[in-house]
Structures are given as structure tokens and as C-alpha cells.
Amino acid sequence: MAEQPPVAPPPLPSNADLAAIFDEIGSLLEIRGELVFKTVAYHRAADAIAHSPHEIARDYRAGRPPAIPGVGSAISDKIAEIVATGRLRFLDRLHGDVPPTLVELLEIPGVGPKTVRLLWERLGIETLEDLRTGLRAGTVGGVPGLTEKGIASLRAGVEALDRRSTRMTLGTAERIVAAIAARLAEAPGVRAVVPAGSFRRRRETVGDLDILVETDDPAAAIASFTEMPGVSAIVNAGTAKAAVRLAGGPQVDLMVMPPGRAGTYLVHFTGSKEHNVRLRALARDRGWSLSEKGFARLGEADERRPAAAESEAAEAGADDAGAAEVEPARGATELRTFATEAEVYDFLGLAEVPPELREDGGEVEAARAGRLPRLVDVADLRGDCHAHSDWSDGIHTIEQMAEAGRARGYEYLVLTDHSHGLAIARGLSPERVAAQRTVIAELNARFAREEAEGVAPAATPAAGFRLLQGCELEIRGDGSLDFDDAVLASFDVVVAALHQGRRQPRGQLTARVLGAIRSPHVDVIAHPAGRMLGERGRDDLDLAWDEIYAAAAETGTLLEIDGSDHRLDLAPERARLAVAAGCTLTIDSDAHRVEELAGIAWGVAQARRAWVGPGSVANTWSRAALLAWVGGGSRPATAGRAAGSRRATS
């Protein structure tokens, strides 16, 4: 009998593949009605797997499974089975119980697992298309638990889902840009690689990507770009530019810049269409035509040509980056080029406009009058007021989060694990709050000793680092707060948030937030609009925003810009209005793992887009100043708040 060839092992799944499997399991178990702790365990494991620094499948196949936060023996066994067989019997059985297509219904804003199960069991709806058809035909309804209001909400949710584009979060865009930049940097002749477009302006979400390369060898850069792994199609490739579409990803446009002439390229391919039109009009007033290639002296015929006609090329077919090419004026006899953006703006009689402001929102006038503000920067921040540990829905331990805050050179990190009313996030009971306080006190005692002995991390500031105890306090559906006054008074900083009852009428939602703002114990309102960006996003809460701003300004309650790239809340337009109304902000990471502390930079970018300076941001203050403010000693008078009544960790 002939010897049988060995069976080849199945292909190794990526971390993303494994994460998708366990996320699907969690969602299917939610629809099936399993206990919350079980479904959360799978989602937490998926999150940890997706962000693991290890190539998990490779390590499992090599017989050295890595330690993954939130992955116990049961899930570890499932990973081993997937790696060994390419399948998972548990998921196969689950597919027999619950149609896997039901997961796509969870993508609908405002739709949870109970509604999905109702649609499936009572109406036989298994896919998003089934639901669309039923809504069009008017056959969705007639069952207990699905009211006319619920049907209207379903219809609005499906319409909102259909309007969503395939835009990326800033974090996703950054990972793609970083990988491409690393490859291009290795090409011969490349001097610099700079992302441009809406990503450089730090728009909340990004469509296509624009990358500029300063190089002596354009052909080598373009070849390296078009031959990248992951390119599914080459849209075009010429001598100075190219465009590709990535597999399962966006289109990426590459433009080559001649050495020493990058200034106008950077200006043109960064600014919005509207900003660039304003700059071209200024150039024309001075007798020049502005394109990415430089300033061309206008000839007599060009001077008679309307300025609007010159901008047609930029308006036609340009994406959200405003990055269409504009040819220099016909018959130009002189071309002025510059190495830097500052020189370009100076040539137009303007101060250099920061990339985040290049949206035609008054920045041109301010630059001409010398009134551009000094914008807040990451280096201005002395702490972070919103972070989580594995005591609630975070991934890393309290000590790991604290050490990461120390390493960033902070004076403080406020640990804000959820309160017990948010059961899905394993919120803390009053007893666990007390136990956590002991852990924090022990860590702070160690930090103080190390600072006194001169063995603290080099980044530690002169004031030292302290971990402050806070909480992310749930604003309940009836407007009450999740802890009583005695527990709330024991925290250093209280961050309140609204997660539940999002479908309440505007007046009721607004009253709940206003109640928290006016509480003598609430210091910060976290992610005030309650939104989530991305595929499973949530729309902004329907609040009376003018009332929110007025109350926050009156009481000194801080409004947060949440730096998570899935939130970025407050949005820039709201943050700008809040500051104009007299509010003070915080910019926080809302980190659930140590790596996410760096996400505070996305929040800073949104604050810059809102024209916010460091003086309007509370966590640019020292630890002592922040604690004095939240303790009532230096913030506006608040009914029921006694100065110095709050515990303060020095």
C-alpha cells in the first residue's frame, strides 16, 4: 500500500481573523440570550487578541501559547482547535442554533440583541435585506414587544446604516499610513514621506489617503508603492504620481515632490478645497497663479481669466482632501518654489496656518491679521482624567496603567473604572471601590518612595506622579446617579457619563445630563454626545446643547473631548461653541489598555480643530490645581458644594 502524503496543516489565521471569530461568538450568544458575563468574556477576549503584540496562531502552533489578558483556558482551547483544524466545533454548533447573518443586524444603530432575536423568532427575519424588505412592505410589526415607535426606530436605524460610508477612523488610517511610509522610506532616493489630505488635517474619519514623497528617484518610489503587498488594483501609475486600491481597504494616492520644493505641495495637498480656493485667490490678487508645483507669474491673458475658472480643476472630482492637481498658469515666465509651508504662507502675507485649521473656518482672515491662536499641544498635557483598568472593562492592571502614565511624564492619571450600574462593563460596587482605593494608595506610596530615592522613571516630573481614584459614574435612566453622596465624596475626580436610555425624548435626556452637571460631586461629563464612530457607531445624543454649555460654564463642570478614535467626542464644532460659552474642557484618552493612552493625541487634534488653546483645558494644569478645582476651591460656586469637601490625594 502506497504511503499517504502528510496532510498539510490549515493556513494560520491572523490575529484579526481570530478576533473576528470570538467577536462573532459573543454577538451570537447575545442574540441567543446567554448571560451577560459570558458574552462580555468573548468580546473582551476578541479585543485582547486583536491588539496582542504576539502572532497568536503562530505561537500556538509552535507550542508556546502567549499569555493574553482575558483569555482563560476555555477560550485558549478554542484558539488551539482553530489553529490545529481550521474550524471551531463550538461555532459550528452555534451556527446551527442561531443564523450567523443575524450579526449584521447588530450593526444597525440603536438595535440590540433582544430586538434582533425578536425579529428572527417572531418574523423570520435573518438578514439585513430581509429587514429592509419587510420595512418597505409594511410587514414588520404585529408582534408583542415591537411597537410603532420601535418600528420607526428600526427604519431610521437602517437608513442611517445605509448612509454610512466606508470611512476609516484615524487609528485605522494611521496604521495604514505608517506601514506604507515605512516601505517607501526604504526606496532609493527618498528624503521624506508625509501624509496629507484629511488625515493630516485630522478629520474625525478619513476616506481615501494621500501620501507625499520627497525623492531624487521618482520611478523607484512609485515602483515601491505600486508593488506593495496588499495592493488589489493599480488605479494609475505615471512618472510623478500613482494611485492604488488596497485589498479590503481604501484608495491611496501618491504624489512625488522634487527635493527642496515641497512647500506648495504640502500646502496644496493638505488644505480642504475651500481653503485652497482662498489661497489661490490671494495669490491671484498678487499677480501669481498657485498650484502644487509653485507660484507662477501671471501673464496678461491669465490676469483677465476669472479666478473661479482657475479653481475649476480643483473643484471637479476632488476628494475630501481637496487634492486635485492644478496646472500652473499658461505661458508663465517665472515660477517660485519653496522648501517649507511657512515660506508659502509668508509669500501670501499670512502666518503659517496649522494643518488642523485648513478648512476655511476663518483661519485665512486670522492668519492675515496675526490672530491665529496658540493651539493646545500634547506636550501641554500634565495628566489624563479618564482611563480604565481590568477592574471593570479594561485590559491591563491598575499597576500597568499607572506605570504607563508615569512613563508618559504625567503628574497624574485618573483611574475611572465604571460604577456598578453598568453591569456589562463589570462596574464597581461600593465595596470594590474601597478595595481599589487600597491598591491605589499602596502604589502611590511606592511612587513617593521611588521619587524620594531618585529611582523613579526619567520622565517623572518634578511634582512626581500620582494615580488618582475616580470613576466613570453612570447617569441612570431616571436621572439619578449610580453612587450615593458618601461614596462620590470619597473619589478624587468623578467623571459622569450617559450610556443607557439613549432613546428618551430630548427634554428627558437633557435633564439627566444637566442634573449631573449640577451635582456637587460630578467634575467631568465624559464623551457628552455619547457617540461612537465607525460601523457599529451610535449617533449623537439629542441634547439641548446651549443649555448644556451654559450649565457647565456656570458650575465649572468640565466637558470632555474623548480621544478614543472611535468617539472623538465632543466634536470640534461643539467644543468650539462650548469654549465660546465659557466652558473648560478636558482632553482624555478613555484608555482601556496601556497602548490606548497614546490616543489622547487624537483628542488633542480635535481640540486644535476647534481652535482650543491650552488655557481652556483643565488637564494642562498641575495636579494641585486640578484637585483644587474639583474640590471646589477654585471653580465657580455650585449649589451644595462646599470648598475643600472632596478628598484630595496629594
Q: CATH number of the domain that 74 lies in?
A: 1.10.150.110
Which pLDDT tens digit goes with each residue over 365-424?
999 999 999 999 999 999 999 999 999 989 899 999 999 999 999 999 999 999 998 887
Which pLDDT tens digit goes with each residue over 585-644?
999 999 999 999 999 999 999 999 999 999 999 999 999 999 999 987 677 754 334 344
In a shared domain, residues 552 and 586: yes
In which band, very low, low, confident or very high, does the pLDDT at 44 lie, cut at 50, 70 and 90? Answer: confident
pLDDT in the model for residue 534? 62
- Collapsed DSSP state (helix, strand, coil) of residue 93: helix
Which of 107-121, 176-190, 485-499 is least confident? 107-121
Task: Answer yes or no: are the C-beta atoms of 125 and 136 closer than 8 Å.
Answer: no
Residue 267 to residues 185, 270, 343, 356, 371: CA-CA distances in angstroms? Answer: 21, 5, 10, 12, 20
Which of 148-152, 254-258, 514-518, 542-546 is least confident? 148-152
Asked if pLDDT for residue 438 goes beyond 80, the answer is yes
Q: In the predicted model, what is the mean pLDDT of the chain? A: 88
In which band, very low, low, confident or very high, does the pLDDT at 339 lie, cut at 50, 70 and 90? Answer: very high
In a shared domain, residues 349 and 472: no
Alpha helices per DSSP H over 358-459: 363-369, 398-407, 430-453
In a shared domain, residues 266 and 238: no
In a shared domain, residues 514 and 423: yes
In a shared domain, residues 434 and 564: yes
Query: What is the pTM assigned to this prediction?
Result: 0.76
Tell me which residue of 15, 20, 89 sits closest to 52, measured CA to CA: 15
Q: What is the 3-state secondary structure (H, E, C) of 7-37?
A: CCCCCCCCHHHHHHHHHHHHHHHHHHCCCHH
Mean pLDDT of 232-253: 90
Which pLDDT tens digit goes with each residue over 536-579?
446 789 999 999 999 999 999 999 999 999 999 999 999 999 99
pLDDT in the model for residue 138? 87
Asked if pLDDT for residue 303 goes beyond 70, the answer is no
Does residue 533 belong to any structural domain of this protein? yes
Of the residues 257, 282, 307, the one at which a domain ends = 257
pLDDT in the model for residue 201? 98
Mean pLDDT of 169-184: 93
Asked if pLDDT for residue 165 goes beyond 80, the answer is no
- Per the model's pLDDT, the better-predicted residue between 377 and 248 turns out to be 377
Q: How many C-beta atoms surround the C-beta of residue 325 within 10 A?
A: 15
Does residue 96 belong to any structural domain of this protein? yes
pLDDT in the model for residue 585? 98
Does residue 4 belong to any structural domain of this protein? no
Instruction: State how far Cα 553 lies from the chain centre.
Output: 26
142 Rama class: left (phi>0) / alpha (psi -120 to 50) / beta: left
Does residue 569 belong to any structural domain of this protein? yes
In which band, very low, low, confident or very high, does the pLDDT at 35 lie, cut at 50, 70 and 90? Answer: confident
Q: Which residues of 204-226 are buried (b: 16+ CB within 10 A; e: fewer)?
A: bbbbbbbbbbbbeebebbbebbb
* Distance of alpha carbon 359 from alpha carbon 364, whole angstroms: 9
In a shared domain, residues 385 and 354: no
Task: Answer yes or no: are the C-beta atoms of 381 and 588 closer than 8 Å.
Answer: no
* Distance of alpha carbon 241 from alpha carbon 196, whole angstroms: 14
In a shared domain, residues 359 and 388: no
Asked if pLDDT for residue 312 goes beyond 50, the answer is no
pLDDT in the model for residue 112? 84
Of the residues 123, 147, 163, the one at which a domain ends = 163
Q: What percent of the chain has pLDDT over 70?
A: 89
pLDDT in the model for residue 252? 95
* Distance of alpha carbon 237 from alpha carbon 577, whole angstroms: 44
In a shared domain, residues 427 and 573: yes
- Per the model's pLDDT, the better-predicted residue between 165 and 632 turns out to be 632
Domains in the chain, number: 4
Torsion of the alpha carbons at 486, 491, 492 and 494, rounded to the nearest 10: -100
CATH number at residue 310: 3.30.210.10
**295: β partners:** 290, 336
Task: Answer yes or no: are the C-beta atoms of 113 and 27 closer than 8 Å.
Answer: yes
Does residue 1 belong to any structural domain of this protein? no
Residue 7 to residues 4, 84, 85: CA-CA distances in angstroms? Answer: 9, 12, 11
In which band, very low, low, confident or very high, does the pLDDT at 5 lie, cut at 50, 70 and 90? Answer: low
pLDDT in the model for residue 404? 97
In which band, very low, low, confident or very high, does the pLDDT at 320 lie, cut at 50, 70 and 90? Answer: very low
* Distance of alpha carbon 350 from alpha carbon 610, whole angstroms: 20
Mean pLDDT of 437-448: 98
Domain with 240 in it: 189-257
Indicate the length of the chain as a whole number: 650
pLDDT in the model for residue 605? 98
Does residue 648 belong to any structural domain of this protein? no
> Phi/psi at 49 (nearest 5 deg)?
-65, -45
Burial tier of 430 (Cβ tally within 10 Å: 0-12, 13-18, 19+): middle
In a shared domain, residues 413 and 507: yes
* Distance of alpha carbon 118 from alpha carbon 390, whole angstroms: 33
Task: Answer yes or no: are the C-beta atoms of 571 and 204 closer than 8 Å.
Answer: yes
In a shared domain, residues 507 and 536: yes
Which pLDDT tens digit goes with each residue over 488-519?
999 999 999 999 888 899 999 999 999 999 99
Does residue 9 belong to any structural domain of this protein? no
Asked if pLDDT for residue 331 goes beyond 70, the answer is no
Residue 370 to residues 246, 271, 353, 359, 608: CA-CA distances in angstroms? Answer: 42, 19, 11, 18, 17
Q: Show Cβ contacts of residue 142 under 8 Å, excluding neighbours closer than 6 positions.
A: none
Asked if pLDDT for residue 647 goes beyond 60, the answer is no
In a shared domain, residues 95 and 60: yes
Mean pLDDT of 152-172: 80
Does residue 620 belong to any structural domain of this protein? yes
- Per the model's pLDDT, the better-predicted residue between 182 and 165 turns out to be 182
Angle, helices 572-580 vs 545-555, to 10°: value is: 50
Tell me which residue of 593, 566, 599, 596 sits closest to 68, measured CA to CA: 593
In a shared domain, residues 409 and 350: no
Of the residues 211, 229, 257, the one at which a domain ends = 257
CATH number at residue 210: 3.30.460.10
Bond from prior residue into 570 cis (ω within 30 degrees of 0): yes
Of 21-35, 151-165, 213-227, give the range with the top mean pLDDT: 213-227
